[in-house]
Amino acid sequence: MPPLSTPPHPLAALLRSSARRRDRTACRKLHAHLLKSGLHKRPPFPSALLDAYAKSGFLSDARYLFDESSHRDAVLYSALLSALSHSDRPSQALFLFRRMVSVDAVPPDGFIFATLVKTCSRIGSLRLGKQAHAQFLLSSFCTDDVVRSSLVDMYSKCCAVDDARKVFDTVPDKNHVCWTAMVSGYASNGRKSEALELFWQMPLRDLFAWTALISGFLQSGDSFDAVKLFVEMRRNQVEIDDSFVLSTVVGASSDLAALELGRQLHGLVLALGYKSSMILGNALVDMYAKCSDIRSARAVFEGLVMRDVISWTTMVVGEAQHGRADDAMDLYDKMVLAGVKPNEVTFTGLIYACSHAGLVQKGRELFDSMEQDHGIRPSLQHYTCLLDLLSRSGHLTEAENVINSMPYVPDEASWGALLSACKKQGDTSMSVRMADRLLGLKPKDPSTYILLSNTYAAAGKWDSVASVRKLMAEMDVKKEPGYSWIDLGKESCLFRAGEVPYAMRHEIIRLLNELANEMNKRGYVPDTRSVMHDVEENEKEQQLFMHSERLAVAFGLLKSIPGTTIRVIKNLRICLDCHNVLKLISEITGREIVVRDANRFHHFEVGKCSCGDFW
């Protein structure tokens, strides 16, 4: 007669339940009960306790239990390795694995190998991933398909897609996870045709598979095709019983700045019953903010039942980018009062808001409070924001002291922020000095070369202008052509400077002339300083007249429903003259005009801009 199996202890089930719920209080109470009853050292309680503490956020307590254990077997190692791998310091799992093999001589099993490979994937180390792969092949678990699927995922995430395919082809009985990992690998690495070919070969194309393909396209920058795939998925009547795919495609509409699409997706979210999803709520807040509808973003945020640090930070950054510095600061105060700890991105948004509103002292205080009050060490990006804040407000000497003393090597963005402000402040001597430092970095951003060329030209240093153009030719750097995009839902159009669609040319030019006449009556004088070509003044004025954002706004005025907001996306920074013109047009027409340029959002209404002419 076979021996009777021992039934699972009810306390073990309670520990698993508290781990799933991340209930720290329950973990401590159960631990105390196990200590009193003397069960804390009996299997399965050591590993169950460790796992419960780790999943509840008590990683230090989990580590203490591990170190105090007199018998550290593969089960105990597996629990701690998994916890470390999913923590914010996944590399610690690699050190623990080394100790497991060298100190305690515990041989890894299939679960440990899978955890090890996932850790290499999380830290993005192809070299360590290959070492883990080699150890796996030499082990007795070398046919474990779970580990092989993890290897496919690791190679894909480390951009070694061909290696991922080699492992994929060695799996005789590929499970759904393995198929999906390979499809996702191709999609996220820009191998579109191979991803689609493999996807249509899958034995099962469920929501999980569709989500992997769609999110992979989004990761590789192909937002348009990601949306097309989502539409196709809906046509295939795939049931959406998980909100992740919705948050992914909402993210795609953010990237495309497609407000009407975002609104339709919002409607679908509500229709499918996902209104209370915090992840989807965060995605919708981000989408509306990036699509220039900050009011709808705030409405969604206020309607969130639960808010995490991402919810608050997304809204803070949105308010900052739309020039609503006071609202961003007010939100931050509410966030702290709600007991939510701000993160690095929160402070980036706050200092950005101060920079674009001229709140110098407030920005300094926020920068100092990062480390003093919240234990966050400022990154290079935070220092760049501080430089931008100081230099924009005319504190050029202080900004130069910061860039020379900060604990990071200044990069292209840091020098560029300082140079741009020097040029705006009219400090020619300092501009040339900053330009020389920036030129020495051999920058990669085309806009940086334009800034350098304009700086040297304004200073009359034509030999340096020639050097910049020579360097651009050597590095094959091409100036990005300016364009403006307007989407009216059923109609959309892309405009380049000086180019007007033939079908609308007469109407657009006539409207711009009518607006110009009215602006002249109100004292408008063209500001041609942004036109760097050596041409006559009237030629410069004509070039400004045909800037892409003006053409797009004229199209919007002609085609949109009267009274609606006109929203334009521009890939470059709006010039000073167009900024003045759009203020006047908003006053003349009584329409709100929102322009998202390369730096921020500008809300033009009744002759004023949300940036307060400080951008």
pLDDT of 32: 72
The structural domains of the chain, ordered by start, are 9-35+45-62 (no CATH), 411-475 (1.25.40.10), 483-609 (no CATH)
Region label for 532, one of left (φ > 0), alpha (ψ between -120 and 50) or beta (otherwise): alpha
Q: How high is the pLDDT of residue 4?
A: 37
What does the DSSP 8-state code read for residue 523?
T
User: Given this model, what pLDDT does residue 466 score?
Assistant: 85
Question: Residue 336: which H helix or E strand, with range?
Answer: helix 325-337
Cα angle 13-18-23, degrees, rounded to a multiple of 5 = 170
Q: Which amino acid is at 191?
A: R
Pairing relation of β-strands 492-496 and 593-596?
Answer: unpaired
Q: Which residues of the chain have pLDDT under 70?
A: 1-27, 30-31, 33, 35-45, 57, 529-537
Mean pLDDT of the chain: 88
Rounded-to-integer distance, Cα 13 and Cα 131, Å: 37
Closest residue by Cα to residue 470 from 439, 438, 432, 428: 439
Residue type, 46: P
pLDDT of residue 535: 53
The contacts of residue 500 (CB under 8 Å, 6+ apart) are: 508, 509, 546, 551
| pLDDT value for 11 | 64
| Largest separation between any pair of C-alpha atoms in the chain | 104
- DSSP states of 383-430 as a string? HHHHHHHHHHTT-HHHHHHHHHHSSS---HHHHHHHHHHHHHHT-HHH
Cis peptide preceding 44, ω within 30 of 0: yes
* DSSP line for 135-156: HHHTSTTTT-HHHHHHHHHHHH
Beta carbons of 551 and 508 less than 8 angstroms apart? yes
Distance CA(44)–CA(108), nearest Å, equals: 19
